[in-house]
Structure 1
Amino acid sequence: MAAAAAAAAAGGRPGRVFAFRDAAPGPTAGPSGSGPPPPVPLVLDNGSFEVRAGWACPGAEPAPRLRFRSVCARSRGGAGGAGPPARAPAAPARAPAPRAPGRPEPPRGLPRSPFDRGVPVNLHLQELLLDSTFQHLGVASQGCVDHPLVITEAVCNPLYSRQMMSELLFECYRVPKVSYGIDSLYSFYHNRRKNSPFSGLVVSSGYQCTHVLPVLKGRLDAKNCKRINLGGNQSAIYLQRLLQLKYPGHLAAITLSRMEEILHEHSYIAEDYGEELQKWKSAEYYEDNVHKMQLPFSSKLLGSTLTAEEKQERRQQQMRRLQELNARRREEKLQLDQERLDRLLFVQELLEDGQMDRFHKALVELNMDSAEELQSYIHKLSLAVEQTKQKILQAEVNVEVDVVDSKPETPDLEQLGSEQSLEDVENINDFEPLFAEETAEVEKPVATVQPVFNLAEYHQLFLGTERIRAPEIIFQPSLIGEEQAGLAETIQYVLDRFPKEVQDTLVQNVFLTGGNMMYPGMKSRIEKELLEMRPFQSSFQVHVASNPILDAWYGARDWALEHMNSEEGWITRKDYEEKGGEYLREHAASNVHVPIRLPKQASRTADAPASGKVAGAALSGPCEQV
């Protein structure tokens, strides 16, 4: 209704004006009661944009129980909530605010993310996210999280990051076992089809990164994976800069959260970017496809809705404030003049008492030459003090002041007319018919004159080519100055690393997943790019995840239910203590485990200079491999 009203005010079609939701965050979700008893696995999709958590219960969890932004902020009150039941210490003052159900808003203030390019690097913030997750899921065990945990990690996650995460889970939360997997591969696992090989090319685009992952016979080919350092976050920032340059008067209103809303609901992928830009050159096409985003504004203008009585009251208030200001100034002036007069009278008393030395010294300080000058100055200052007192008394008596509008004096028209020549008067009479026509037009009622300035339209953002420019950066990173290959070039590069037979197998199952793959037209664009790069009359198939956002959690839940009683993919506490925190048990949706290769120690029998060279060479080996 608000959008329709704004559209009517703007004089456009109601269907083309959209209002920002700007929904206020709902109440913080409290603990959802006691969770299921062990050993029910806990599934956590630890995404860089959003955390999705729930239980792997058969038929009991149709969707993640918790969904909230992966950011932390210090609460304004300075005191945190109750600590999670799974740990002895209380939760710190900073904590995320999970909200269920629906899409939550990030906490206000200065939110910080534990992720950098999808990799958790700030483990103290990650600990806060886990604290809040376990608390709101209702983990009932005391002193530990006595549930198996399935958690997602980044593609080709660095060993150090996995080591720190394992240390946090096993040492801090004392989980019995944990399994790491890739979110996009979990989504691929959830959407696997019967009578089809578990192979394909997974194209995943998230909040910060885009990946091209070849999967052969159910396992990730990590050597041929490629990443593009662009995602939904960069698209939102690019769109924000475009609109801020286009509308510099609304810099504060063009926020990043509103840009994300525009991307999710009003953007699309052009099948042919250049051809689509040519269409937008047409004025008719622009009018039919432009989306107008209505910014919030106040339609009440100063002075536009005031009655005559209100204007008179406001004028009287202003006059009263002016009188009070003048009265304070008079009192201050009277006080200063009275103090100076008292000082001069004191000097005059010195003359009357015959204290000539002190009198002449005082005259020098007052910059005066004689007693006559002192007497003259005392007389003038006394008159000034008396006049100021009279003005103060008069102002107190005349409290009510009538405001009289002064009119400018009009000159004598007869005198001016006599000074004009007769010829000028005749020329003026020739224009009288024109003046009569204009007078009739001017004397129309003011209410019938349409306003030239439309306040509602001024607070609208017209989205034309911006609808396709922002999401196009994953295909053309050069639009934002990034020296990277686009998505189509990356797919072709990955395919070229395989033999022709393997290429044919991969392109038969090109799988699109991730929140940044939900743009309308994404599937047709990928099909067009594959058609251009594949041989003539070759076949390929492109599939989109049934739910690109939640399928990663669904796939992790499916995997946990199928492997709950097996050892495949699970890292136990014994494995952690014996093989280190970087250890990984591989499974269908996991990374490839690359163990750390320690350098061989130099022989102690060698001399000191030689051993130093050998040790230096040994230490440089692993760094070069990494």
Structure 2
Amino acid sequence: MAAQQSAVCQVFSFQDRKASPDPSFHPPASCGSMCPIVIDNGSFQTRADWATRDAGAPRLLFRSVAARSRGSARSHTQVQVGNDIPNMEPLRWLLKSQFDRNVVVNLEVQELIFDHVFSHLHVTSEGCVDHPIVLTEAPCNPLHCRQMMSELLFECYGVPHVSYGVDALYSFHHNNRQPPQTGVVLSSGYHCSHILPVLDGRLDGVNCKRVNVAGGQAAAYLQRLLQLKYPGHLAAITLSRMEELLHGHSYTAVDYQQELEKWRSPEFYEREVHRMQLPFSGKLPGGCVSAEERQERRAQQLRRLQDINARRRGEKLQQDQERLDRLTAVQELLEDGLLDHFHKSLQELNMDSAEELQSYITKLQQAVEQSRHKLLHSDTAEAKTEASELEEGDNMYADFPEDTLPEKAAHVLQPAFNMAEYHQLFVGTERLRCPEILFQPSLTGEDQMGLMETLQYVLARYTPEQQEALVSNVFLTGGNMQYPGMKERMERELLAIRPFQSHFKVTMATRPALDAWLGARDWALEHPPGGGGEGWISRQDYEEKGGEYLSEHCASNVYVPIKVNRNVPARPLEAPVAMVTSPL
């Protein structure tokens, strides 16, 4: 997050980072034939690398999107994945993701993601991957989605072992090494947020809840706010820039209403507003045009200026004439002997006597006559004067290029406003409005509870003793939890919903966006495949128990097998564990 600067005028530039193709990474020397490959299959970014003890962070990190060129329906030669796309905005309409919300449903794009990972890690040999795979999945992942994923890994890539785990739980166990590992995980990513209660080191899948608001909705909300605020810069307010602005300049208000009141102060606004500089061209127009074209352009500017002056003079003359007509009508009341109406009209005009009225009428008549005279005669003289000045300026500086004109001549082409300031976005209350949708989804029109209301609903399903154990370890993780002030806001909200003098503790992941991969790497090193260890699905398990089979471990989902009852019609595969949105 960008540091809060104390300068009065804070001007920031968009980085507009353009991705470069990922390099190829050879397996490390300590990597054996059974060394697992850890893939954090995130809805915003995919992170992949070998599970080695010297791996501090995943080396392969890219956006989880693919773009296929038009006309290449089945050809992989014209497909760009992740960082192979240098700039996403021109191809925004072509981008495809394997996710619907946070669940993998598009296996064709998922296959492209896997091809990209395996090719850059140099693990494919004759179309097969001879290494175990540790893969993250959504909380309470539907059985049908896991079945398709297992089919893709075992049948297409021929992997020997697969292990599935929840990214937020990997992060939780990576930061909570000491048992008993009981707590509640608040995870917020790109597509949605989750409340995951953990009891004695295992996920309580029955009471998990999802809130369909996260970083993607915050970026779209910020884009709508700024496009409404600056309709002249619609094309420049892109989603990529809004994501950069959201990640680098937003913060979470500890007290939302109180923070909004601070922004009413002009001093606070000038101190805290962030001016985002959009790219623009500062070059003056007409740098390589002839003297005749420059003279014609200046003549057009002169005519526009004359039209504006004539319109303003006409409007002023019309207003004076209307005022004169009203005053004359009041004077006629005196001439007609209607004294009561005359004195009443004088009071409305805030005048004391008929002499004052007559004096005002005389002055107004003189002003109207002078305005008419100027309107009829001054335009011609003004046009002649300014035309001669323009002609003199053209003759004087005809031999100078326009980019080197002296100040006396260059002022004609200078704009009447600061071009750089015109291309600035003043981001004020938007800095806290967008992260606030986690707590108030109604700001974006979502008809559901916020994160803390959903947490209160989840806690109410437990006994008081279990509630105390859960709130004693409230763990925040996910890329959308990195706003400054998020931990303090959670503590304030918990203080409001918990009983008087109750205790709770809120902790933030060390690296909210990377701890999921690090936790999966730690688990893979502590639980090597083979030997009947828990958490791994072998090829034999896949063939005997089906693609939806899940070997449970501390960071996995709860496996709910399909129960077949011949007297009851079959239910969809995902029905037993389908994620339920937050109740209203």
* 1:71/1:106 contact within 8 Å kept: no
Secondary structure in 1 aligned to 2:186? strand
Answer yes or no: is the 8 Å Cα contact 1:67–1:104 preserved in 2: no
What residue number does 1:24 align with? 18
1:138, distance to aligned residue in structure 2 (A): 1.1
1:541 and 2:522 equivalent?
no
Q: Any idea what SS the aligned residue of 1:472 has?
A: helix
Query: Counterpart in 1 of 2:340?
Result: none
SS in 2 for 1:73: strand
Which of 1, 26, 49 lines up with 1:33 in the alignment? Answer: 26
Determine the structure 2 residue equivalent to 1:483.
447
Residue aligned with 1:212, SS: strand
2:147 is aligned to 163
Is residue 181–residue 590 contact of structure 1 (8 Å, CA) maintained in 2?
yes
Which of 132, 143, 146 aligns to 2:127? It is 143
Q: Which residue of 1 aligns with 2:170?
A: 186
Pairs within 5 Å for 1:209-358: 209-303=192-286, 311-312=290-291, 314=293
- Cα distance change on mapping 1:14 and 1:446 into 2, 3 Å: farther
Q: Which residue of 2 aligns with 1:598?
A: 564
Shift of 1:447: 7.7
**How far apart, in 2, do the equivalents of 1:216 and 1:104 lie?**
44
Please say if residues 65 and 82 of structure 2, whose CA atoms lie closer than 8 Å, have aligned partners that are also in contact: no
- Which residue identity lines up with residue 62 of structure 2 in the other structure? F
For 1:96, which of 42, 66, 81 is the aligned residue? 81
Instruction: Decide which of 53, 60, 63 is 1:66's aligned counterpart.
Output: 60
Is this contact kept in 1: 2:9–2:270, CA < 8 A?
no
CA contact 1:219–1:588 (8 Å) conserved in 2: yes
> Deviations 1:78-113 (Å, cap 9, x if unpaired)?
699xxxxxxxxx9553241447xxx98658521110
* Counterpart check, 1:516 vs 2:480: yes
Q: How many residues are matched?
A: 463
* Cα drift, residue 539 of structure 1: 1.2
Higher relative contact order (CA 8 A, sep 6+): 2
Aligned to 2:462: 498
C-alpha distance in 2, partners of 1:217/1:621?
A: 31
| Whole-Å separation in 2 of the counterparts to 1:253 and 1:152 | 35
Task: Describe the superposition over 1:356-408 as per-residue Cα deviations: whole angstroms up to 9, x where unpaired.
Answer: xxxxxxxxxxxxxxxxxxxxxxxxxxxxxxxxxxxxxxxxxxxxxxxxxxxxx
SS in 2 for 1:520: coil
2:522 paired residue number: 558
- Change in Cα spacing, 1:141 to 1:589, as seen in structure 2 (3 Å) is same
Give the alignment partner of residue 55 of structure 1, picking from 47, 50, 58. Answer: 50
Q: Does 1:202 align with 2:203?
A: no
Please, which runs of 5 or more residues in structure 1 have no aligned partner?
1-11, 81-89, 319-423, 429-438, 601-613
Change (3 A) 1:211 1:105: farther
Q: Deviations over 1:207-265 (max 9, x none)?
A: 00100000000000001111001110000000000000000000000000000001101
Could you report, residue by residue, the CA deviation over 1:236-295 in whole angstroms, capped at 9, with x for unpaired residues? 000000000000000000000000001101000001111111111111111110000000
- Which letter does structure 2 place at the counterpart of 1:598? V
Going from structure 1 to structure 2, the CA distance change for 1:107 and 1:31 (only over 3 Å counts) comes to: farther
Aligned-partner Cα distance in 2 for 1:105–1:169: 30
Q: Which of 40, 46, 54 matches 2:41?
A: 46
Counterpart secondary structure, 2:252: coil
Structure 1 position 140, deviation (Å): 4.9
Q: TM-score, structure 1 length as denominator?
A: 0.69
Rounded to whole Å, the distance in 1 between the matches of 2:115 and 2:570 is 39
How far is the alpha carbon of 1:558 from its aligned partner?
A: 0.1
CA–CA distance in 1 between the matches of 2:60 and 2:507? 28
Alpha-carbon distance, 1:143 to partner: 3.1
The change in CA–CA distance for 1:448 and 1:106 in structure 2 (over 3 A counts) is closer
Aligned partners of 1:200 and 1:216 also within 8 Å: yes
One-letter amino acid matched to 1:481: G
CA-to-partner distance for each residue in 1:421-471, whole Å, 9 max, x for gaps?
Answer: xxx9xx99xxxxxxxxxx9xx999688999641111110000011001111
Counterpart residue type for residue 270 of structure 1: A
Question: Partners in 2 of 1:127 and 1:571 — Cα distance?
Answer: 20
1:599 CA displacement: 2.4
Letter of the 2:49 partner, please give it: G
Structure 2 match to 1:122: 106
Alpha carbon RMSD of aligned pairs, Å?
Answer: 3.1
Q: Of the candidates 412, 422, 435, which is equivalent to residue 471 of structure 1?
A: 435
Contact 2:118/2:124 (<8 A) preserved? no
8 Å contact from structure 2 (residues 476, 507) kept in 1? yes
Q: How far apart, CA to CA, are the structure 1 residues paired with 2:245 and 2:234? A: 16
Change (3 A) 1:18 1:114: same
Do 1:69 and 1:105's aligned partners in 2 also have CA atoms closer than 8 Å? no
SS in 2 for 1:582: coil
The one-letter amino acid paired with 1:223 is V
With over 3 angstroms needed to count, the CA separation of the structure-2 counterparts of 1:14 and 1:158, relative to structure 1, is same
Q: TM-score, normalised by structure 2?
A: 0.74
- Post-superposition offset of 1:302: 1.6
1:583 corresponds in structure 2 to 549
Deviates more, 1:231-240 or 1:565-574: 565-574
5+ unaligned residues in a row in structure 2: which ranges? 1-5, 298-365, 371-381, 390-406, 579-584
Amino acid at match of 1:563: H
Distance 1:139 1:555 in 2: 22
| 1:543 CA displacement | 0.4
| Residue identity opposite 1:618 in structure 2 | P
Shift of 1:472: 0.7
Offset, 1:57? 1.2
Whole-Å Cα distance in 1 between the matches of residues 436 and 156 of structure 2? 43
Q: Percent identity?
A: 60
Counterpart position of 2:493: 529
Give the residue type in structure 1 aligned to 2:107.
Answer: L
Alpha-carbon distance in structure 2 between the residues aligned to 1:505 and 1:597: 33
Distance across 2 between alignment mates of 1:524 and 1:97: 35
Distance 2:266 2:164 in 1: 53
Paired residue secondary structure (2:95): coil
Give the secondary-structure state (helix, strand or coil) at the position aligned to 1:171. helix
Question: Alignment partner of 1:583: what SS?
Answer: coil
The answer to whether the 8 Å contact 1:186/1:589 transfers is yes
For 1:157, the aligned partner's letter is N
Checking the alignment, whether the CA contact within 8 Å between 1:228 and 1:487 is kept in structure 2 is yes
Counterpart contact for 2:509–2:515, Cα < 8 Å: yes
Sort the Cα spacing of 1:38 and 1:141 in 2 relative to 1 into closer, same or farther, 3 A: farther
Aligned to 2:301: none
* Change beyond 3 A, Cα 1:17–1:558: same
